[in-house]
Amino acid sequence: MKFLDLCKVYVRSGAGGNGCISFRREKYVEFGGPDGGDGGTGGSVWAEAVDGLNTLIDFRYQQHWFAQNGQGGMGRARTGKDGSDIVLRVPVGTEILDEDQETVLADLTTLGERVLLAKGGNGGWGNLHFKTSTNQAPRRANPGQEGVERTLWLRLKLIADVGLVGLPNAGKSTFLAATSNARPKIADYPFTTLHPNLGVVAVDNTEFVVADIPGLIEGAHEGRGLGDIFLGHVERSAVLLHLVDGTSGTLIEDWQTICDELSAYGEGLAEKPRVTVLNKIDALDAEERAFLRDELQAAGARDVLFMSGASGEGVTEVLRALRPHVEARRAADRATGEEEDSAWQP
């Protein structure tokens, strides 16, 4: 399935049905009078976060979503049938943006969460509503209310516990393939990863989700390479795993490039907990490893770990270093949920 994380949709709620002008005329019935019914309410457009989806590809082929109109009122005081609602089924983590692509209308981060995108129009009143003591035969009815048309953007930000960042060919996809059942593309040229990949890893009876995004290069926030739009998929992560290629001849510059791009992107990524790992150590001897680690720590990196995704050396230690951050985030989320539940009053 093709990955799609940004798309435009056009939604329109249903118009309300018109009110009816009708009079009761029956043989042998002494009292007649107005009996026009009201129009039905138009259908609304909703968005709901559902399970089992991780892409917006469905909205690539169906961009227009129109709810059903309400039925008009009828005689004998019969109300028209309401229009059917329609629901846009989106993955968890989808943001609903206004047409300007900046105003966030809703952020669906919880399974089953629903938001109203366009409310259906009210049905018009029939002439039965306008009967008074001085106007016992009103020939007046209201038209139904028009539906609401909106142009919206859907932007998916994957919900993962750990976000993988680094330059192209830093070994991010190799690490994901070595620790999970995910099978991302791996090759010896840059930008083999063109869209995010998710994998579930396990360590010490704890499972968490890792997101691998395309590599960043210097100037990505200005649109160079694949840009930095994919950083949105690691905004919600509890910790960042920063992989640095130990065989690169510009180790410090590579590390600083990623730090600068995270700062330029904003959204709190630069302040997010980060685990720095010197990767591809299978090509380095002990003296080179110690030298490069000292260089990184002198530049500002904290607690640099060693790892080789290809040979598996140090992978378990890296996963164990990530685990406390993931568990701390989950504990904070549970505490927040409990506070909200305790504050609820019937």
Binding residues for Mg(2+), as ranges, are 173, 193
Q: What residues does 242 pair with on adjacent strands?
A: 165, 276
Tokens of 262: 């995270």
Identify whether the C-beta of residue 281 lies closer than 8 Å to the C-beta of residue 287.
Answer: no
Identify whether the C-beta of residue 191 lies closer than 8 Å to the C-beta of residue 215.
Answer: yes
Binding residues: 166-173, 191-195, 212-215, 279-282, 308-310
Q: What residues does 8 pair with on adjacent strands?
A: 153
End-to-end CA distance of the chain: 44
How far is 151 from 8, CA to CA, in rounded Å?
A: 7
Binding residues for GTP: 166-173, 191-195, 212-215, 279-282, 308-310
CA-to-CA separations, 25 to 30, 32, 84, in angstroms, rounded: 9, 6, 33
How far is 5 from 235, CA to CA, in rounded Å?
A: 14
How far is 325 from 339, CA to CA, in rounded Å?
A: 21
How far is 203 from 208, CA to CA, in rounded Å?
A: 9
SS3 track for 204-237: CCEEEEEEECCCCCCCHHHCCCCCCHHHHHHCCC
